Amino acid sequence: MGLVDRFGRVHDDLRISVTDRCNLRCSYCMPVEPVWYPHEHLLHYEEIAQLVRLFARQGIRKLRVTGGEPLVRRDLPLLIGMLRGIDGIEDFSLTTNGILLGRFAADLAAAGLSRVNVSLDTLDHERFRRITRRDRLDDVLAGLDAAVRFGLSPVKVNAVLLRGENEDELETLVEHSRERGWELRLIEYMPLENDGSWRPERVVRGDELRRRISRRWPIEPDPDGDPHAPATRWRFTDGRGRIGFIDSISDPFCSSCSRLRLTCDGILRACLYDDVECDLKTPLRNGAGEEELLRRIRDTVERKGQGGALQILEQRHVRPQSRTMHQIGG
Ligand code: SAM
Ligand code: SF4
């Protein structure tokens, strides 16, 4: 039982992208002028819920709603309410850039969302504008406050540090996060952008970050961390919080990968980096039964490769051919 692949990896984690659209244009994620999927290509909320019920019966336990920017999709709290009660789902979260959280945090909490990850790479207005190509830092900070106020906690803050761009903000981000009670997660820059600008030299590695942090705030591995989670969790030895590292380039976690991704246009993807995927929307709309959908899901899991991220450093760049990050769902 369950979604087990040829390498014995059990898949219990599903990331659902609800849109490819976004109110930011982060340079490492999407082009300046993206071409969006037409609305009619997107899965409807009822279709998403139908698929999640099916996945949950196959052992999916963790659910994350993402995008693009999920909060630009109309009535997102409605979808949250539909997914909340699905049997078997134990962990239910949302990844957002936070801009619209000020408006929606209360509704999301009322709809049954447990917690949020908010992406924030810098606390400097000018840098924020340069990295995201929009001037919305104050909205993100207001969104974070709202998330804390409405109990969408623990609030985790995702940051990507880029060499020569915002790497010097590590200490400021750590200090600020500890003061506000956010759990910071530092993600290594991955080659999922669209303009081919990724270079290994631009990745700030997790081991370097841990060394720098330890100089000011001693940290140690958190014994309660989940060994299957992509983020390794550490804790500050002074007892003031935790911090996570996603060393996706320097220490890829492919061998314990438990994730599947459903894109907003209804494609199931087995891995960020290889293009093994399968259309679930067309059969769903053509009235396929559960058995047919399950056959497709199992076949995709079967075809999943050993590890798309394993060769990145040697090959210097292995961006998937077909989609950038905002189209897959981060
Ligand atoms: N718009 C939402 C947000 O920004 O949180 C959700 C989607 S975004 C694609 C999800 C996460 O992917 C963000 O934390 C973002 O920083 C991260 N991300 C995007 N492109 C990336 C890249 N090339 N390398 C590492 N992380 C990336
Ligand atoms: Fe939008 Fe998130 Fe991509 Fe930034 S990282 S462009 S906020 S989808």
Q: Which ligand is nearest to the CA of 95?
A: 1
H-helix or E-strand containing 244? strand 242-246
Average pLDDT, the chain: 93
Indicate the pLDDT class of residue 276, thresholds 50, 70 and 90.
Answer: confident
Q: What per-residue confidence (pLDDT) applies to 224?
A: 86
Ligand 1 atom, smallest distance to 117 CA: 5
> Cα 146 from chain centroid?
20
CATH superfamily to which 3-328 belongs = Aldolase class I (3.20.20.70)
Torsion of CA 158, 164, 165, 169, to 10 degrees: 60
Determine whether the shortest distance from the Cβ of 95 to ligand 1 is under 6 A. Answer: yes
pLDDT tens digits, one per residue of 29-60: 988 889 999 999 999 999 999 999 999 999 99
Measured in Å, residue 26 CA sits from the centre of ligand 2 at: 5
Task: Please report, for the chain, the start and end positions of each structural domain, with discontinuous segments joined by +.
Answer: 3-328
Q: Which ligand is nearest to the CA of 118?
A: 1
Q: What per-residue confidence (pLDDT) applies to 70?
A: 98
> In sequence order, which residues have a C-beta less than 8 Å from that of residue 156 and are 6 or more positions away?
115, 116, 117, 118, 182, 183, 184, 185, 244
Contact by Cβ (8 Å): 84, 111: yes
β-sheet bridge partners, residue 268:
262, 278
Determine whether the shortest distance from the Cβ of 25 to ligand 2 is under 6 A. Answer: yes
User: CA angle at residue 184 from 183 to 185, to 5 degrees?
Assistant: 120
The dihedrals phi and psi of 105, each to the nearest 5 degrees, come to -55, -45
> Cα 142 from chain centroid?
21
**Where do runs of H (alpha helix) occur along the chain?**
45-57, 76-84, 101-111, 125-132, 137-149, 170-180, 206-216, 281-285, 290-303, 312-315, 325-328
Cα–Cα distance for residue pair 191/174, rounded to 1 Å: 25
Nearest to 116 by CA among 95, 145, 143, 141: 95
Residue nearest to atom 4 of ligand 2 (CA): 26
Instruction: Give the chain's end-to-end CA distance (angstroms, integer).
Output: 27
Determine whether the shortest distance from the Cβ of 326 to ligand 2 is under 6 A. Answer: yes
Cα–Cα distance for residue pair 32/21, rounded to 1 Å: 12
| Helix 290-303 / helix 45-57 crossing angle, nearest 10 deg | 70
Q: What is the DSSP letter of 308?
A: T
Q: What is the DSSP letter of 139?
A: H
Indicate the pLDDT class of residue 3, thresholds 50, 70 and 90.
Answer: very high
Amino acid symbol at 248: S
pLDDT tens digits, one per residue of 167-224: 999 999 999 999 999 999 999 999 876 677 888 899 999 999 999 999 999 999 999 8
Does 72 have pLDDT greater than 80?
yes
> Cα 294 from chain centroid?
24
Determine whether the shortest distance from the Cβ of 30 to ligand 2 is under 6 A. Answer: yes
Contact by Cβ (8 Å): 71, 292: no
CA distances from 291 to 44, 45, 112, 288, 295 (A): 21, 21, 30, 8, 6
pLDDT tens digits, one per residue of 223-240: 987 877 888 999 999 999
